[in-house]
Amino acid sequence: MQADYVIVGAGSAGCALAYRLSEAGYSVIVIEHGGSDAGPFIQMPAALSYPMNMARYDWGYRTAPEPHLGGRQLVVPRGKVIGGSSSINGMIYVRGHARDFDTWAEMGARGWSYADVLPYYKRLEHWHDGGHGGDPDWRGTDGPLHVSRGPRTNPLTRAFVEAGHQAGYPITDDYNGWQQEGFGPYDATIWKGQRWSAANAYLRPALKRENCTLIRALARRVVITERRATGVEVMRGGATEVIEARAEVILAASSLNSPKLLMLSGIGPAAHLAEHGIKVIADRAGVGQNLQDHLELYIQQAATQPVSLFKHWNLMGKAMIGAQWLFTRTGLGASNQFESAGFIRSRAGIDYPDIQFHFLPIAVRYDGKVAAEGHGFQAHVGPMRSKSRGAVTLRSADPADAPNILFNYMSHPDDWEEFRTCIRLTREIFAQDVFAPYRGKEIQPGADVQSDADLDGFIREHVESAYHPCGTCRMGSGDDPLAVVDPETRVIGVDGLRVADSSVFPQITNGNLNAPSIMVGEKAADHILGGAMLAPSNAQPWIHPDWEKAQR
């Protein structure tokens, strides 16, 4: 078994790489441990809470006990299926703010500023505005990834945007366009009522070519000969074999599994590798470090009118929605129900949004457990740029073992201040006049939870991951001792080896990570192919003119 390029992981970035490298005429083998994404639980957008809780589709990782969250162990779903986490995520499509990528460039990822990455976002997208306005000049119209908007017919969904406006924030037609800051409609990777994962967008078309092959196997380590990656050792059908790469090996196995594979292959912090009896090939202190995520709280409000999705939250209701979707790909089953967005700044002196809202017209948990009050609505809210950093480390030298994952959530005092601000700003939005016809009591945190100490207790007990882990193989300049890959995604210290997934983010972007992960795959493909990069954009995004003095 050999190919020009061997890609480990058929996730968001890996599928994009397979598509672009095979399109250029090279032979590609994609190694994926998970199986098929067939079936309604993945393909039906409204069923999103099922696949991320199914062992068949999820690696089943948990964090170590988090010391600042009272020792809680949080779940860390990662897609173990073709399409990777794009097959089990909430399908929300957020590029990130222009300043995120300018910060990457300032941190040593030269060539990854917003001007550099915007052309790749436009190349990957096929954007459908659905008659909801928006910013066509900033969007792509013929890429493989279909991006659309929900119908936004629920009155609560529309009320949330108007409440943001009443509270003094701007309205934005397209947060992925000129102006991110403000309230408006969400974009989603949904097309014709179906989840449009990286598998649907990129992998299936690539596999129709004779030069692209998918192999179901567990990658054990990268085979390195004289400091050059020459293949990948896998476990397949109970036997170990090596899949050889004539040109390069590319790890796109997630921000949890890519650093794990590097360390199992002898690339990582020398002392840590020695603890597990692994021979050191490249001493890279940054492998597995710099782990970041977004945390969020669900601020829930009871509804006094039966306008929420709760009326469908029974066996009969779900059966009707499922049947309509199966036969027509329409109805409530065709939306992820996250149809209204908000991006705001927590205080004056911050130049771009650092708080994100996901509004949902029902009060429910990610595992599908609905609030006892029945009808309600909620906003998921959290800070975008936590200063806390964690690490992915090896549990053992056995590739079958899950890695150790410690995010060290809420270890920085600023995180607590930012989360208290998130709760208070959300309450203010829910208190606006437009919600008056619907607003019942606050379900959680609850009206009596007001003091800093009480809010901190609520945060410690209820904060959840937004499932956006990244940063563990940070991109930076070749002489940066903590960088793992250079700005062309090449692993520093080993030839013929790259990492291209959310691991390489120097800093987390503001918003959901699926779009920037796919963008990394698209741009990395051009670095690998060695031709000219897409020409940088001259587009200048909107920044609040009074950001230094005003919060809104």
Q: Which residues contact 213 (CB under 8 A, 6 or more apart)?
A: 3, 27, 28, 29, 30, 207
Q: Is 412 a catalytic residue?
A: no
- 280 phi and psi, to 5 degrees? -80, 125
Half-sphere exposure of 484 (CA within 13 A, CB side): 31
Write the single-letter amino acid at 439. R
Q: Which residues contact 128 (CB under 8 A, 6 or more apart)?
A: 146, 147, 148, 149, 191
Greatest alpha-carbon span in the chain: 70
Q: Which residues contact 505 (CB under 8 A, 6 or more apart)?
A: 104, 255, 292, 470, 471, 474, 475, 513, 516, 520
User: Residue 428 in contact with residue 481, Cβ under 8 Å?
Assistant: no
- Residue of 33, 146, 358, 468 with catalytic role: 468
Q: How far is CA 101 from CA 31, 113, 118, 179, 384, in A?
A: 30, 5, 10, 15, 14
Alpha helices in 39-92 (DSSP H): 40-43
The burial of 187, by beta-carbon neighbours within 10 Å (0-12 exposed, 13-18 middle, 19 or more buried), is given as buried
Closest Cα partner for 19 from 214, 187, 294, 223?
Answer: 214
Would you put residue 443 in left (φ > 0), alpha (ψ -120 to 50) or beta?
Answer: alpha
- 381 is known to lie in a ligand binding site: no
Write the single-letter amino acid at 459. I
Helix (H, G, I), strand (E, B) or coil at 21: helix
- 177 phi and psi, to 5 degrees? -105, -130
Burial 372-406 (b: 16+ CB within 10 A, else e): eebbbbbbbbbbbbbebebbbbbeeeebeeebbbb
Write the single-letter amino acid at 200. N
* Residues in the annotated binding site: 81
Question: Would you name the residues annotated as active-site residues?
Answer: 468
* Residues in the annotated binding site for FAD: 81
